[in-house]
């Protein structure tokens, strides 16, 4: 047998092995299996390499084992003082009980009452509010951001942490190794350490070649968590950066929504932060997790939902779909990245078909042309079902929000795409409160007022080339 024949036989054997591995891989929908089989079979060598680099959801066996061991050993949520038990009881209409049951099945947190909150006015006021809370902190400050830039707002938070550390407040700051690499490599990161701020890197990359061999580089910690003194927390879509977002300035401003919470829900975010902190900083902070829940006043029910590639498969889609199917009068969604699986697309269409006033708001210009094109491939079916589609024209709409029937809100970091479903660590808060949901709904209406409406005639008029490109991008969704 000649050298060429041996090489061909070896290549075929490798391709078959990779195809068999793709077929046998657990927690993968059929569309993803088929897509990878086509890529591996149709693109010799390149297809095999692509699958080995991006075909499986793994951050590395050691990291998976470490994170799961940390979560297993975390103490349970602390109890309440007897005088506070009535305020901490989660009160909400019975028709929403199943939503909080789904949330509990994901993160293990019960819905908890006694919370109050306000929706921040804009990105700059959010940072100013965080800085004010850090300046008022008495015990500890915990931060975790996917993207933390050394720009004006990023440096404001750095300086606030340094001030807090100088007066004896225990400050812990964590940032994603890829999204925040500019900050981590900057003098500001070193200055925080020198000032006494404890810092850690989530999912550090290290040697790029070695990292690609042991786990996917593009699996990231996409969470945005701020917890202050165990009683204040922030949740939303905003990274620690200016709205001008200089790394992608041509899409600016980035338009986000963040909610500042006070109450027991902060303790749940504390647990979520701790799972990441203990994993990567190797500092045990169980003592903070065992402290009784601070005294609470009467307030609304809320629940933290944390997902990721080491959590239950399909957790985030299950949460989204449960909310979508629960809507009876109105469903409004804003998301910058929409690459759904078939069941989620069907759920949204079914919402409109059964008479629910269903609206989705997308950005008009997306920083990812791939995701933007893939998103538009779904417009025709959504519009045919009666879904109202708007494209926001006042910048890159980055807000991830869902409101239903004027009572329930889901807000946080998760997009409605496969990256948030399968690849990224995300954090959201589910809440039931008419007043706060009304504020979020007003913000969504503001987005609509600054948007162009997308009609069936507009989509039908797109040239064949554009529709072909969008559909091809959507077909690649299962492997992106």
- The full DSSP string for 419-465 is IIIIISBEEEEEEE-HHHHHHHHHHHHHHHHTEEEE-HHHHHTS-HH
Position 115 pLDDT exceeds 90:
yes
Question: Among the options 133, 341, 400, 422, which is catalytic?
Answer: 400
309 and 59 Cβ atoms separated by less than 8 Å: yes
Q: Give 328 or 51, the one with higher predicted confidence.
A: 328
For the ranges 40-54, 145-159, 248-262, the lowest mean pLDDT is seen at 40-54
Q: Where does the pLDDT of residue 423 fall: very low under 50, low under 70, confident under 90, or very high at 90 and above?
A: confident
Position 476 pLDDT exceeds 80:
no
Question: Among the options 29, 110, 122, 229, which is catalytic?
Answer: 229
What pLDDT does 276 receive?
94
Q: Give 126 or 15, the one with higher predicted confidence.
A: 126
What pLDDT does 171 receive?
98
Q: What is the pLDDT of residues 435-464, one digit of tens each?
A: 999 999 999 999 999 999 999 999 999 999
What pLDDT does 478 receive?
60
Cα–Cα distance for residue pair 154/148, rounded to 1 Å: 6
Question: Among the options 242, 405, 417, 433, which is catalytic?
Answer: 405
What pLDDT does 188 receive?
98
What pLDDT does 411 receive?
98
Q: Is 224 a catalytic residue?
A: yes
Position 6 pLDDT exceeds 80:
no
Position 87 pLDDT exceeds 70:
no
For the residues 410-437, what does the mean pLDDT come to?
Answer: 94
For the residues 89-102, what does the mean pLDDT come to?
Answer: 93
Architecture of domain 315-479: 2-Layer Sandwich (3.30)
Give CATH superfamily name and number for 61-98+110-301.
Endonuclease Chain A (3.30.870.10)
Mean pLDDT of the chain: 89
231 and 263 Cβ atoms separated by less than 8 Å: yes
Q: Is 156 a catalytic residue?
A: no
Q: Where does the pLDDT of residue 297 fall: very low under 50, low under 70, confident under 90, or very high at 90 and above?
A: confident
Position 407 pLDDT exceeds 70:
yes
- For tokens 């080995």, name the residue: 52
What pLDDT does 56 receive?
64
What pLDDT does 298 receive?
81
For the residues 281-291, what does the mean pLDDT come to?
Answer: 89
Q: What is the pLDDT of residues 355-378, one digit of tens each?
A: 999 999 999 999 989 899 999 999
Cα–Cα distance for residue pair 117/83, rounded to 1 Å: 22
Q: Which residues does residue 306 pair with via DSSP β-bridges, in sequence order?
A: 427
Q: Which residues does residue 338 pair with via DSSP β-bridges, in sequence order?
A: 416
Position 216 pLDDT exceeds 70:
no
> For residue 420, what is the DSSP state?
I
Cα–Cα distance for residue pair 425/179, rounded to 1 Å: 13
Do domains 61-98+110-301 and 315-479 share one topology? The answer is yes
Q: Where are the domains of the chain?
A: 3-54, 61-98+110-301, 315-479
Going by C-alpha positions, the residue among 226, 216, 243, 220 that lies closest to residue 146 is 220
What pLDDT does 10 receive?
67
SS3 content of the chain, % helix, strand, coil (to 5): 50, 20, 30
Question: Among the options 142, 188, 271, 398, which is catalytic?
Answer: 398
What pLDDT does 291 receive?
83
What pLDDT does 270 receive?
96
Q: Where does the pLDDT of residue 214 fall: very low under 50, low under 70, confident under 90, or very high at 90 and above?
A: low
Q: Is 400 a catalytic residue?
A: yes
> For residue 78, what is the DSSP state?
P
What pLDDT does 7 receive?
58
Cα distances from 348 to residues 202, 412, 416, in angstroms, run 34, 20, 12
Question: Among the options 176, 224, 271, 422, which is catalytic?
Answer: 224
Chain centre to alpha carbon of residue 18: 30
Position 83 pLDDT exceeds 70:
no
For the residues 34-62, what does the mean pLDDT come to?
Answer: 68
Q: Give 51 or 375, the one with higher predicted confidence.
A: 375
What pLDDT does 262 receive?
96
Going by C-alpha positions, the residue among 386, 388, 394 that lies closest to residue 449 is 394
What pLDDT does 299 receive?
92
Cα–Cα distance for residue pair 400/255, rounded to 1 Å: 10
Q: Give 289 or 34, the one with higher predicted confidence.
A: 289
Position 43 pLDDT exceeds 90:
no
What pLDDT does 158 receive?
98
- Give the pTM: 0.90
Question: Among the options 142, 156, 162, 222, which is catalytic?
Answer: 222
387 and 359 Cβ atoms separated by less than 8 Å: yes
Q: What is the pLDDT of residues 320-364, one digit of tens each?
A: 999 999 999 999 999 999 999 899 999 999 999 999 999 999 999
Position 34 pLDDT exceeds 80:
no
Position 250 pLDDT exceeds 70:
yes
Q: Where does the pLDDT of residue 419 fall: very low under 50, low under 70, confident under 90, or very high at 90 and above?
A: confident
């Amino acid at each position: 047998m000649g050298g060429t024949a041996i090489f061909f036989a070896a290549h075929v054997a490798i391709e078959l092995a990779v195809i068999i591995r793709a077929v046998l891989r657990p927690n993968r929908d059929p569309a993803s299996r088929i897509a990878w089989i086509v890529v591996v079979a149709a693109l010799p060598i390149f297809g095999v390499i692509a699958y080995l680099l991006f075909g499986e959801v793994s951050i590395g066996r050691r990291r998976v084992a470490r994170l799961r061991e940390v979560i297993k050993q975390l103490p349970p949520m602390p109890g309440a003082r007897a005088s506070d038990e009535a305020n901490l009881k989660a009160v909400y209409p019975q028709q929403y009980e199943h939503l909080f049951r789904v949330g509990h099945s994901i993160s293990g947190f019960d819905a908890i009452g006694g919370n109050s909150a306000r929706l921040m006015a804009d990105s700059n006021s959010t940072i100013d509010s965080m800085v004010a809370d850090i300046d008022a902190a008495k015990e500890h400050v915990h931060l975790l951001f996917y993207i933390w830039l050394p720009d004006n707002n990023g440096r404001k938070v750095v300086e606030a942490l340094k001030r807090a550390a100088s007066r004896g407040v225990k400050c812990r700051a964590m940032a994603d190794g890829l999204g925040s690499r500019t900050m981590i490599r900057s003098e500001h990161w070193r200055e925080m350490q020198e000032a006494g701020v404890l810092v850690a890197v989530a999912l550090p990359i290290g040697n790029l070649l070695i990292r690609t061999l042991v786990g996917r580089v593009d699996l990231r910690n996409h969470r945005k968590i701020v917890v202050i003194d165990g009683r204040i927390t922030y949740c939303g879509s905003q990274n620690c950066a200016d709205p001008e977002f200089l790394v992608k300035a041509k899409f600016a401003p980035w338009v986000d929504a963040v909610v500042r919470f006070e109450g027991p829900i902060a303790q749940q975010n504390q647990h979520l932060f701790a799972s990441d902190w203990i994993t990567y900083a190797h500092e045990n902070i169980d003592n903070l997790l065992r402290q009784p829940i601070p005294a609470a006043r009467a307030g609304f029910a809320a629940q933290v939902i944390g997902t990721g590639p080491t959590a239950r498969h399909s957790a985030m889609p299950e949460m989204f779909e449960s909310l979508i199917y629960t809507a009876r009068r109105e469903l409004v969604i804003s998301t910058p990245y929409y690459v759904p699986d078939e069941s989620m697309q069907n759920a949204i269409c079914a919402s409109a078909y059964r008479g629910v006033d269903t609206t989705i708001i997308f950005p008009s210009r997306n920083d990812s042309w791939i995701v933007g094109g893939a998103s538009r491939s779904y417009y025709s079916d959504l519009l045919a079902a009666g879904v109202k589609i708007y494209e926001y024209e006042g910048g890159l709409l980055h807000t991830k929000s869902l409101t239903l029937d004027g009572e329930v809100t889901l807000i946080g970091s998760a997009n409605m795409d496969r990256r948030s479903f399968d690849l990224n660590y995300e954090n959201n808060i589910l809440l039931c409160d008419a007043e706060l949901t009304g504020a979020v709904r007003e913000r969504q209406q503001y987005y609509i007022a600054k948007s162009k409406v997308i009609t069936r005639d507009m989509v039908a008029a797109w040239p064949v080339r554009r529709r072909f490109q969008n559909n091809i991008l959507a077909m690649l969704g299962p492997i992106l």
